Amino acid sequence: MNKIQKITLGISSSVGSFVLAATPALAQLGNVDIPDRGYATSIGTLLSSILNLVMLVAAILVFMYLILGGIEWITSGGDKGQTEKARNKITAAIVGLIVLAASYALLQLALSLLGFSGGIQEVFNTGIRPINR
């Protein structure tokens, strides 16, 4: 058995025993009230927020890669190899930005064609809703 298999086996057995030990405690909770307020009041809101966060982080990373390519181009000092490397970084960043924008636009287009005008939030909010007391 190699080291990775031993670590994986140890972690999985620890998590499994924790879940088995927590099951009786979770069964004694009974009725759990769902709060009326909060940021993620539904699974749709949560998934929409996660999607927006992922898109924001991806856009920031793409712009940082673009700036890095620009800095490498400026500091290349006329070296043909360094300039080519920097140009490839800039090209990759622009392609990444186009892919990012196109994926978001395609998602919105697909949702609107399917009749969901509220975006990804509406897709998951049409199912089970929490009971407000």
Q: Is the pLDDT of residue 115 over 70?
A: yes
Instruction: Provide the mean pLDDT of the chain.
Output: 75
Q: What is the pTM of this model?
A: 0.56
Distance CA 97, CA 105 (A): 12
Taking only the tens place, the pLDDT of each residue in 38-50 is 666 667 777 777 8
Taking only the tens place, the pLDDT of each residue in 63-114 is 999 999 999 999 988 889 999 999 999 999 999 899 988 988 898 888 888 8
What's the whole-number mean pLDDT along residues 16-43? Answer: 57
